[in-house]
Chains A and B, each alone.
Chain A
């Protein structure tokens, strides 16, 4: 089993209250399914859409985020475990984020000492 990070990017889930409740329930069901199948390592966290960017080699500057367009913004992350990257990617296909026009970035965690 290897570990992978799901980065949830973009996706506009605003809508009528009924639609938002349905979206929320789909997410909860999806997370539960990952857990039931033993793939959930850490459910992760949602991220605020705001933040700060610190950069500069010598002169450090701090500017207000966000630093990407809304469609690329990371909205949260989850740590999963899967046989390999293909399985991890396959599992992500059921994520409700696609209904909202977002995407899941699947990144293998670098295995130390291998």
Chain B
């Protein structure tokens, strides 16, 4: 008898890890997070041993969930006198009569979806800094190991390990998973938006050279933003706008890095490689997000991405509209990077000299000191205004700041351009 070759979702284990930890944490209580993680690891070990010989079952998710559920019942039976589990479930877990049906119900699909969402909100605890929230989400809900997060963020294992251990302690110290009906729901939802936005950006603009890692981070952000949309409480206009922005940017990923792993700026991307389906989905979400009175940064960024996504070329882009959208964005969330992008749009619209003038007036320019695309932009605009020597100096500075071989190659190509 041969194992059946079932086409598996490429990241099934990672995604199921997040779902299982969320469900188990709900049952065991947040303070038993480590126990929940052990049970998940156990379920994977079992799957590995059995599937090796029997092949992948027809419904691998259900198989994993059932295994985790059985292990949860075992743990509850064995340790109910020694440990306290989820306080809100209290007595229901103490009696054999109620325990099994309760666990069964908590492993049902709707319950798990809720738990994943509650875990996401719990990871965005106000006591945690944003990078810690992002690392925790990647670790718990996306099943990334410390090593995998470290390699995605070009950080060291020790640094990420420390960040995650500390964050888990904060999480385990909270009484229970965040309730979606809590009074501070709206505040926490904005923190979740921000964390998912940062996660997406890390994938899109981050330092990691490997395009596989980049698209995985973007994919995770898209998936989690999708989870938010499925919940009626969390599906706010800002949530929809965030989803729109991610879709519209992710659509450009295939054009950003070509087959040989070279980075291309928006100006020289092969637009036929953009993902039309994602653009359509982003556009739909953007339309749906246009309700209520809240204009968030996500709305504006999605609107900018939408102008780009629908323009046939860089030249045929409505740069005037983009400049005005950047003005709005700067008013909502002032940042030197946003101002730099605005200056680039001004240069497209009114010429490189005007762009350079705009850059000189940016507030907080020193915050861009280590950002390779700041000197790279100066170089680009100097080059366009016929100053290849000045341009070259800026590109040299950019080269020194490049964070990955991919960025380095990109800047080297620009330097070569200056010497033509």
Which of B27-35, B143-151, B202-210 touches A? B143-151
Q: Which residues of A contact B14 (CB under 8 A)?
A: 16-18, 21
Separation in Å of the A62 CB from the closest CB of chain B?
A: 23
Known: A13-B45, A21-B12, A32-B5. A27 touches B52 (CB 8 A): yes
Within 8 A of B (CB), among A24-83: 24-25, 27-28, 31-32, 35, 40, 42-46, 75-76, 78
CA A44 – CA B44 in complex, angstroms? Answer: 20
The contact sample of 15 A-B pairs, CB cut-off 8 A, is A14-B41, A15-B145, A16-B143, A16-B145, A17-B145, A18-B11, A18-B148, A20-B48, A21-B11, A28-B51, A31-B3, A32-B5, A42-B1, A45-B53, A46-B50
Near A by CB (< 8 A), chain B positions 45-73 give 45, 47-56
Verify B53–A43 contact, CB threshold 8 A. yes
Q: Nearest CB to that of B20 among chain A residues?
A: A17
Report which A residues bind B (CB closer than 8 A). 13-21, 23-25, 27-28, 31-32, 35, 40, 42-46, 75-76, 78
Contact A76 B5 (CB under 8 A): no
- A13-B45, A16-B144, A43-B2 are contacts. A21–B52 as well, Cβ < 8 Å? no
**Which of B2, B49, B55, B143 contacts A18 (CB under 8 A)?**
B143
Which residue on B lies nearest to A100, using beta carbons? B48
Complex Cα distance, B143 from A21, in Å, reads 12
Task: Indicate whether A76 sits within 8 Å of B53 (C-beta atoms), given known contacts A17-B17, A21-B13, A28-B5.
Answer: yes
Q: Are B47 and A17 in contact (CB under 8 A)?
A: no
Q: Kindly provide the distance from the CB of A25 to the nearest chain B CB, expressed in whole angstroms.
A: 7
**Complex Cα–Cα for A40 and B206 (A):** 47
CB distance from B139 to the nearest CB of A (A): 10
Is B8 located at the chain interface by the 8 A CB criterion? yes
Interface: B301 (CB within 8 A): no
| Contact flag A14-B45 (CB < 8 Å), given A28-B52, A46-B53 | yes
- Knowing A17-B13, A17-B143, A21-B13, say if A31 contacts B49 (CB, 8 Å): no
Please judge, given known A-B contacts A17-B13, A76-B53, whether A23 and B145 are in contact too, CB under 8 Å: no
Q: Given A17-B13, A24-B52, A75-B49 in contact, is the A31-B8 Cβ separation under 8 Å? A: no
CA distance A4 to B1 in the complex (A): 17
Q: B47's closest neighbor in chain A, by CB?
A: A24
B330 to chain A, nearest CB (A): 39
Q: A31-B53, A35-B2, A46-B53 are in contact. Are A23 and B147 (CB under 8 A)?
A: no
Report the Cα distance A44→B3, complex, angstroms: 11
Bound together, the chains give a CA A49 to CA B369 distance in angstroms of: 56
Question: For residue A23, which residues in chain B have a CB less than 8 angstroms away from its CB?
Answer: 48
Bound complex: CA A43 to CA B4 (Å): 12
Nearest CB on A from B311, distance (A):
37
Complex CA–CA separation, A78 to B143 (angstroms): 32
A42's nearest neighbour on chain B, judged by CB, is B1
